[in-house]
Structures are given as C-alpha cells and as structure tokens.
Amino acid sequence: MEYITATAEMADEIYNVLHTTIQTVYPKYYPKEVVDFFCRHHSREHILKGIASGNMGVVVDKGIIIGTGCYDDNHITGVYVLPDYQKQGFGSKIMDCLEAEISKQYDTVFLEASLPAVFLYEHRGYKTTGHGAYELKNNVKLVYEIMEKKLNVRQAPVPNKITKPDFKQQ
C-alpha cells in the first residue's frame, strides 16, 4: 500500500472511486437527493481542481487506486475508499498522510463528516464541534458533523483557519 500525489492521468480512476463509494455506501444513510448531490459535487471538473491544487492523493495497492483524499489548508475536504476495501486500513493510511501534511503548518485539522464516516473520525480522535445542514431540493437536508482534532505540530504553528464547506448545488 502506497499513498502518492494524484495526477491528471488518474482523474477517471479517482472519479470511479468517488462515485462507486457514494452510490454504494451513501444510500444506507441518506435519501436519493443527497446521493445525487454528492455525485454531482464530485464531478470530473471538481476532481481535476483538487489534483491541480497538489493536495489530492491516492492510496494504491497492487497497482489499483483504492482510495483518495484531499485537503485545503487545515481542512480535510474528502476521504473515500472503495467499498470492497473499507475496514482494511486504507482510510487510515489516507488520513495519516493528510494529517501529516496539515501538521506541517497547523496545529488543528477540521472536516465535515458524512454520516458513514463519523465513526472513522471519532476513532482517530476527532471531536464533533457542531452539526451542519445543507438544504437540497424537495425539502431534503444533507446533514453532517463538523469535527476537529488537535495535531502534533512538527513546525511552528500558524494561526488556525477554518474554511466553510465548498458545497455548491449544481
């Protein structure tokens, strides 16, 4: 298992990881409108933007992209692992790498956790600091946990910055 920086050539495989995971796991927790919202949000354009930032990576095992993660400043913006590979340490590997990068500049990391991911984050020491809701069509709400964790700082910390979720209804 290896975590590497994502490249534009990986965009289709990353798209597959995101959409397969969303379409397989999220219907157990969310109504169809929320599943559709996440699939629209994680478009090829959105993925290419994450890759271009240099802050998106993939975990590869035996030549297969198993999962992906991305961050912006001290905000983890997404972690996804193919359903067949969940609960095998791939998500933890992604989180270890994202947290290591963020800890180079910040002492706290923030994220918005989807309902399926809350347990993973709590297990890693994240604490819920709030709850969010995003209005969708048909009076449906996307609900999520706002979580944070103190990191072991490897360099002098800079002031904390929290960013708001980058949800845009499409």
DSSP tag of 17: H
At residue 163, does pLDDT exceed 80?
A: no
At residue 120, does pLDDT exceed 90?
A: no
CA distance 81 to 93: 11
Q: CB of 148 within 8 A of CB of 135?
A: no
Exposure of 32 in the CB half-sphere (CA atoms within 13 A): 1
In the chain, where the domains are located: 2-150
Residues 38-96: pLDDT tens digits?
Answer: 999 999 999 999 999 999 999 999 999 999 999 999 999 999 999 999 999 999 999 99
Q: What is the maximum alpha-carbon separation in the chain?
A: 47
Residues belonging to the chain: 170
**2-150: CATH, from 3.40.605.10, 3.40.50.20, 3.40.630.30, 3.40.1180.10:** 3.40.630.30
C-alpha 30 chain-centroid distance = 17
pTM of the model: 0.85
With H, G, I as helix, E, B as strand and everything else as coil, classify residue 145.
strand
- Please compute the mean of the pLDDT values over residues 90-105 and round it to a whole number: 95
Residues 11-52: pLDDT tens digits?
Answer: 999 999 999 999 999 999 999 999 999 999 999 999 999 999
At residue 107, does pLDDT exceed 60?
A: yes
Element (DSSP H or E) covering residue 45:
helix 44-53
